[in-house]
Every structure is written in structure tokens, then in C-alpha cells.
Structure 1
Amino acid sequence: MRGPTILSYLFSGVAVLTAARAHVGTAPGKTPKVQTLPSLREQAELLDGWTEERKALIPQLLRKYGVDAWLMSQREYAEDTVFWALKEATQFSARRRTTHLFLADPVGGAPSSYSWIENTNVVWEDLRRILATQKPRSIALNTHPEIAFSGGLHAGELDAVVQGVGEEWKEKFVLEPMLGVEVVATMVKSRLPWYRKMMETAWAIIEEGFSEKIIVPGKSTSWDIEWWMREKIQSLNYTTWFQPSVFILTAEGFPAADGSSAAMDDPRAPDHPIQFGDLIHTDFGVSALGLNTDTQHIGYVLYPGETEADVPKGMLEGLKKVNRLQDIVKSNMKIGMTGNEILKASREQMQSEGIEGKIYCHATGEWGHSAGSVIGMTNLQDKVPVLGDLPLLKNTYYSIELFAEHFVPERNRTIVFPQEEDVYWDEATNSWEWVYGRQEEMLLIRTPAESGPTAPTEL
């Protein structure tokens, strides 16, 4: 998390920027606009509808993984991770002891799910009676030691479950990690229109933040823009799941291609003034309606009087190169393959095309880093233990997050070009598609000719 910074210079000097800014969208043909959220009551209705759609899928998931029953139990403020995917919109935590039981194939006309909010032994008495009638051969518990979405049962609550249902059922307990993973990962189709709107809102905030409306070269700093973004999110009644970051890719001390110096995810990276000729980068996401976006874009600060024709050619080539790396990864994301298999295939292909960089993709949606297979990490480019061995699932959202290295002659150095865009699985095309789009054109911060120095001659 970044430390606080004073915004005293953020808007100073903006009045002198009299030249109108022609919109240069980051994706061809797209001009993102902020999308207004519905009322809280309407949001709750949407959320509860999506949750019911998801709950209806659980019995068939139990059958898919050969499990007869799934038991979750938690106390207030010690919730199982999956609880947050199953709760009602107006629930802000579990209450008392909150327990759920799901059955794959209930007999005798019994329901397929049960829930209790109870602080007496009634819950255990009911459970023992149901189990005695249904006679499940296996009961899944969320006890995985490595996967957060399959390991949310607290140790003390496990003891309470064993004591409550009795030793006779303990031998039926099993671990099936894909239950928690797939329930949380599954994004029902009716969520996509609102996810698109959220992604468009994220793009719109980035494009405003990376403009001369907000950035005053020589005065605005990277932390100023980060905190402007936070304030902007708040003013729109959205929130976020991480502190926005703004980095100056061409600044001294920024990470070199070998990863030395301050990394892009370093929460204490230095606060630099933004200058003419800087290549700047943001990692940014918004949260609403139980969903989270994740986007990384880059922009260039034009010298006074410059136009898009004056952007260094090497920087435009770097953007094209990272776009190609996005294509490589997306094309290798085959349903059913593990993240490590996708990582291996993608790295082999990028190396055959002479691209150097790193791949670190993850599921997103319900959580920012959500349930699903991980395709590389910044420090794990050969394979990711455990999470990289999970299979890639349909009906989820993924952030294709990565960077490509490119030598920029105009700066006489190799610069990293990060990008991140979210995708969804499209049944119609049988492929991953961008939720809103992807950055293919540089964001430009324009300045009138009378406002500062001219560009230096090319190196």
C-alpha cells in the first residue's frame, strides 16, 4: 500500500492547458464512459439472483467430482472463503454458527441444500438426522492446506463439526478442492453485461487520470495520480480491491528487464514527478456488485506542441510486442489444461518469436485474485506449485497479466511494457474474448506548445 501524499499540485496549472484534447482511445473504436451503478436495493436484487443461479449448479458439481455431500460451517468473523460466494447481498458476515449442507442426489424428496444460523445444538441434531436418512458415502470439507478457496474451514470449527455430527461420520469426510474452486470461479452468464460496464468504467477513469486534465508535467507525481484515482472511484460509489499504482517506466530506478531495482508491485516504490517524455503505467481495478476488475495500461507525456506522430517509435513497437504476447497467451489458454501447461506452451512460443518478458495471469471476478488456475507468477516462470496444477475452467473471468521487454532506441535502454486485460469464455466463439477491449494505442497526455520545453533531439 502506498503512503499518503499531498495533492497540492494536482490541479495547479490545469487552467493554462487551453488546447482541446482530441480523444485517442486505447482501443480502436472505443470511447469508454463511466457507467452509473443502480441503487443499492437494485444491486442486492441482482446479487441475490446471481447467487441463486450459482447455488443451483452445486448438486451437479458434487456429482461431477463424485462427492455425495458438502458441509460448510463457520462462526461470525471466522467465515469459510466460500461463504462470501453463497451469502445473501444483505449479509455482511456469518452470524452465530452458520452452517450449509449440500447433497448431490437427495433421497425421499428431500431438498438438495440446508442452511442453519444457530448458536445451540439444534444444528448438530438436525445434521445427524439428515445424514442418517441420506446416508452419504462421502462428505466434503474445505480443509485444503494450500488453496484458499478450498481451505476455509477453521481448525476450531473442524473440531466442532466432528464433535457435533459424531465420530461415526468422521470417516466419511473427504477433501475435494475443485468444489470450492469451481463454485467461486463460476461466473453465471447474467453477470457479464455488468462486468463489461465495470470494465468500461475502469478504462474511463484511467483515461481521465492519464490526461492533461489531471497530469501537470513537472508538478504532478505518481502518487498524486494514484490518490486521484482512489478519490475518483469513491466519488462514483465504486470501491477497489487494491491501491491503484502509477509508475514511470522511463524513470531512473524503475525496474530493469532483469527485475532489479523497485518492482512494479513494490508497495513502497518511489514517488516520482511526472515529466515531459515519460512513459507512465498504471495497475488499476474497480469493485462493485461482488465483482472486481484488473487492468494495466500505459501512456506517454508529450512535449509541448507534440502530437501523436511524435511518440517515440520504439515505444509504439513495445506496445505492439506486448499485444502479441497477449495473443500468444490467450491462444494457449485451452479449457482443461493446467496453468503450468499453458505457461510452458506460451513461453516456448514467445521465445520462438524472440519475445522476452514474464507471464503472470490469474482468475478474477468474485475476488481480484480469484479461484482458478494460476498461469505463472513474476518469480515463478517455470511452474507454479499447486495453483498452477489446477485445470483451466470455463465460465470464469481471467486477467491476462504480463509484460514484454523492448529496446527503445530513443531512450537507449530496454523498457518493460506491462499490460493486463480481463477475458471471459465465449461459448459462441469457443474462445476467450476481451471483456471490454485491450489497449492497442498509447494514451497521450497533451500540452500546449507555450507550456514548457521542446522535446530533446533523438539519442
Structure 2
Amino acid sequence: MRGPTVLLTCLINSWTAFTVVQAHIGTAPGKTPEVQTLPSLREQARLLDRWTEERKALIPGLLRKYGVDAWLMSQREYAEDTVFWALKEATQFSARRRTTHLFLADPVGGAPSSYSWVENTKAVWTELRQILATQQPRSIALNTHSEIAFSGGLHAGELDAVIIGVGDEWKNRFVLEPMLGVELVATMVKSRLPWYQKLMETSWAIIEEAFVSVIVLSIDGLKKGEYDRATRDIEWWMREKIQFLNYTTWFQPSVFILTGKGFPAADDPSVSMDDPRAPDRPVEYGDLIHTDFGVSALGLNTDTQHIGYVLYPGETEADVPKGMIEGLKKVNRLQDIVKSNMKIGMTGNEILKASREQMRSEGIQGKIYCHATGEWGHSAGTVIGMTNLQDEVPVLGDLPLLKNTYYSIELFAEHFVPERNRTIVFPQEEDVYWDEATNSWEWVYGRQEELLLIRTPAIDREEAPTEL
């Protein structure tokens, strides 16, 4: 049996003549997603460095906003501060030696507002003390928060080195201001949006191709033993597709069967949409298929969850169980509720409370677990619920919602589907961005409003190729 990469590639090539399949493309009105080609690596580096410089220019204003005079970051190679990745040049793959940054809110005497050192001697501390003596900052922020990753990236050993390096005079001026790291990483400069939209379109396109090509093959595929016809094959096909396109990802794609016998009931407290794995079994006619998928490129990360329905041979859109269509509409309504409650300046916990009160008033059962995305998959910013924390999220949920960032509206609604005589969870996840023109959150690419229909003509197994 051939390796999985060759096998899955051959599956697509070998079955072209057999898979006269048509998905219901355009699961968002007017959208037909296509894979977007990335520019050359050199051009990508130019884009990344331009975005980084735009963001660095915001730092003095951030310091003034939060009443801090200076911001000091220091790290060693392979022990980087989390914020380092938002400040580095595109061709840097790690910090070098000791890499130290100092930012000033209001430098005096015509001095620059930022300094950087790449050094492996004590010279960095000598020069740093000289600058501090001239600038006399009353407060120097360090990233030492115990709960917020984007504000707590200063390693313990490096903190000791900083304290010794600057001396007692400046040690007493160290402060913790967590919003500096959070807001710097969270802020998405405007010129990033067109490429983020392209990444999102690519993610949609790969999902639809996987559902069309690979799920069909998993149902009607090759002779027993030549293809195990399971959800894991679809997941790995998606990984290989990403790699082929020179994209990458920040998490392993998941594909699972919402209507599978082994999937927990919606009211089961063990259900976790962070890893809702159903048994690895063949996809069957009448299955409701779900994927959680994201692509990464250009320092950006997407996060998307879509649902597809596998038609029986000869079925049309009119044959889709009405309960499944209603389930998708219900989760779309829950998306609207959360998006409408995402008011700038409110905390994630306040948004969660308002959203859950509204969903209860409308008779919707489900869970909300939204997060910032973009620079990281789970990026800097407030958290609006977690799967196991539906009343409030300590610390992260108390952060304010910021403008000019991207968010994944991630959640699920429960719906009783009479045609299956059971309650099914309907997960959805789409990314939004803050639009200054409309003063509101807008979908980055769109959102799924119709089930992705997978048409599966019956295929005689004896006609399947025995050699791949």
C-alpha cells in the first residue's frame, strides 16, 4: 500500500472520470471561493516588514495611552518574549544572542523613540543605563504578567539578568502594564486586511474541495483495503493540500461526523468543541460533516468551521432534512447575537453575559467561545467564553474588546432534528474585522449560510482502479 501522501494525490487524479460531483458552491451568498496564490518569498518579506514598521510606529502612542514612559523587552535565542514575534524582521527566524528593545513614549533632546541591541557582552547594559540616565523614565514596563501570554513573555532567567544589568536605581521603576503587549499584538494595520481576506478565501476553497473530492471518494472509493475511507484521511488530505500551496497551518485540521453514532449527545457535559472527535469511521450517505480548519501565511492565521451534508445518490437540495437546514439557521442567528453584542471597550465577560441572556430569551441552547485571531490563531485580546467557562473567563475575559483587530466568532447551537430523532450540535466559526467606515464588525470573507451539499453518484466498485 502506498504512503498517504501519494495515495491521496492518486485518489484525486485516478477518480476524475468517476467523480462527476457538484457541491453547493457559494455557501455564503454570492461567494465562489478560489485558492489565492501567495507572492514570492521576497515579496512576502517586503509586505511583512512594511506591516511591522506600521505597527512599531504605534508604540509611543500606546505608551502614552497607558501612562507608561518606557517599555523594555529582552530575550535570548530560542527563549523569545511573545511580543518579539510581532517586532522582528521577516528574515529573522529567532532572536540572536541577547536581543533587547527599549521603547520611549516621549524621548527628550531629539533622541529616537526606540533602541535595539543584539549583543552577547555586558555592553548592552552599559548603553541601556546611559540612555535611561538621560531620558529619566518614571516607569519602565516589563512583560511579566502571570496569566496573559502576550504580556508575560519575559523569561524568569532573563528577568534576573535585566535586574542585575540595569541596577537598583531602575529596578524600582519597573511596572506591569498588560495592555501594552495585548494591544500591540492585537492591532492589525489596515494594509493587512486584503491579504487576510485572501487567506480566508483560500481556507474556504480548500474546505469545499476536500468535501467535494475526498468525501466522495471516502464513500464510493477504492476496493476494501486500498483506502480506509475515514475522516482522518480527509484531515491529512487537507494538510497535504496546504503544503502543496506553500501555505501552512497552526493546528491539525479536524473532520468529524456530527451524525455519527459515537459522537456525544449535545447535552453531554463531556462535549468539548476544542477536540470533538468522533470515531474514525467511513463517511456515509446522510451524514452531517463538520471541519475545523485554518491556514497560515504572511504572519496571519485564519480559523473556520463549516458543515456539509452528504446527499444520497439521486437526492437534490430539496431532499436535505429540514431540521438540518433549521439548525444552520439557528447557529447563524447565534452568530448575529454575539456580533451585535461585541461593543468596543466592553470586556469579554460582559459580551458573553449579554449574548447568553439574549440567546436564552430566543430559546437557543449552545455555547460561545470566541477569541482574537490574526497574528496568532488564538491571538491577543479578550476572550468571549470558553467551552468549559460559560459564565465568565477569569483574567482573559476581563480584558476590553479592542478596535482594529480580527476575531473568530466561534460557537455552536443545539437543534433537534426530527428526521434523525436527536439533538445535534451545529458548530460554526467565521472571522470578523473592525470596519472603521461602518463602525462595526464585518465578516472577513463571508459566513456559511447554506449547507455545503456533497453529491455522490453511485459508482460500481468493480470499476475502481486496483493500481494507483
State the TM-score, normalized to the length of structure 1.
Answer: 0.95
Following superposition, the deviation at residue 213 of structure 1 comes to 5.5
CA contact (8 A) 1:212 1:445 kept: no
Offset of residue 348 of structure 1: 0.2
- 1:194 is displaced (CA, Å) by 0.2
More deviation in 48-57 or 254-263? 254-263
Provide, for residues 264-292 of structure 1, a one-character-per-residue CA deviation record: whole Å limited to 9, x for no partner.
43386531210000000000000000000
Identify the residue that residue 391 of structure 1 maps to in structure 2.
400
Among all aligned residue pairs of Structure 1 and Structure 2, give the percentage whose two residues are the same amino acid: 84
Supply the distance in 1 between the matched residues of 2:334 and 2:22 (Cα, whole angstroms).
31
* Residues 357 and 402 in structure 1, CA contact (< 8 A), matched pair in contact too: yes
Q: Which amino acid aligns with 1:335?
A: I
Judge conservation of contact 2:220–2:458 (CA < 8 Å) in 1.
no
Structure 2 counterpart of 1:341, one-letter code? E
The alignment partner of 1:11 has SS state of: helix
Q: Which amino acid aligns with 2:284?
A: Q
Given candidates 396, 402, 412, the residue that maps to 2:421 is 412
State the match for 1:27 in structure 2.
Answer: 28
SS in 1 for 2:216: coil
TM-aligned CA distance change 1:18 to 1:368, over 3 Å: closer
Misfit runs of 4+, over 6 Å: 4-7
> Which residue of structure 2 aligns with residue 43 of structure 1?
44
State the match for 1:297 in structure 2. 306
User: Aligned to 1:227, which of 225, 232, 236?
Assistant: 236
TM-score computed with the length of structure 2 as normaliser:
0.93
Q: Tell me how many residue pairs correspond in the alignment.
A: 449
Preserved CA contact (<8 Å) 1:222 1:271 = yes
The 8 Å contact of residues 273 and 387 in structure 2, kept in 1 or not, is answered as no
Distance, in Å, in 2 between the alignment partners of 1:393 and 1:265 is 24
| Partner residue in 1 for 2:411 | 402
Residue 173 of structure 1 corresponds to 174
Aligned twin of 1:306? 315
Helix, strand or coil: the match of 2:50? helix
What is the deviation of 1:122?
Answer: 0.8
For the aligned residue pairs, the C-alpha RMSD in angstroms reads: 1.8
Any conservation in 1 of the 2:258–2:290 contact (CA below 8 Å)? Answer: yes
- In structure 1, stretches of 5+ residues that fail to align are 453-459
| Matching residue within 411, 433, 444 for 2:453 | 444
Conservation of the 8 A alpha-carbon contact between 1:17 and 1:447: no
For residues 203 and 327 of structure 2, the distance between their equivalents in structure 1, rounded to whole angstroms, comes to 23
Q: Partner residue of 1:200?
A: 201
Opposite residue 277 of structure 1, the aligned amino acid is G
Matched letter for residue 274 of structure 2: D
Asked if the contact 1:218–1:276 (Cα under 8 Å) also holds between the matched residues in 2, the reply is no
Whole-angstrom distance in 1 between the partners of 2:68 and 2:208: 48
Corresponding residue of 1:370: 379
- DSSP 3-state at the match of 2:329: helix
For 1:369 and 1:153, locate their aligned partners in 2 and report how far apart those are by CA, in whole Å. Answer: 19
Q: How far 1:7 moved relative to its partner? A: 8.2
Separation (CA, whole Å) in 2 of partners of 1:15 and 1:133: 71
Aligned partner letter, 2:103: F
Using the alignment, how far apart are the partners of 1:55 and 1:264 within structure 2? 36
- 2:192 matches 1:191: yes
Q: Offset of 1:256 from its aligned partner?
A: 1.4
Per-residue CA distance 1:389-417 (angstroms, 9 max, x = gap): 00000000000000000000000000000
Given that 1:340 and 1:376 are in contact with CA atoms closer than 8 Å, whether structure 2 keeps it comes out as yes
CA distance in 1, matches of 2:181, 2:331: 33
Q: Secondary structure, in 3 states, of the residue corresponding to 1:202?
A: helix
Structure 1 range deviating more: 139-148 or 11-20: 11-20
CA distance in 2, matches of 1:11, 1:332: 45
Is the Cα contact below 8 Å between 2:142 and 2:154 reproduced in 1?
yes
How far apart, in 2, do the equivalents of 1:187 and 1:149 lie?
15
Which one-letter code corresponds to 2:156 in the other structure? A
Q: Is the aligned partner of 1:243 residue 2:252? A: yes
Partner of 2:266: 257
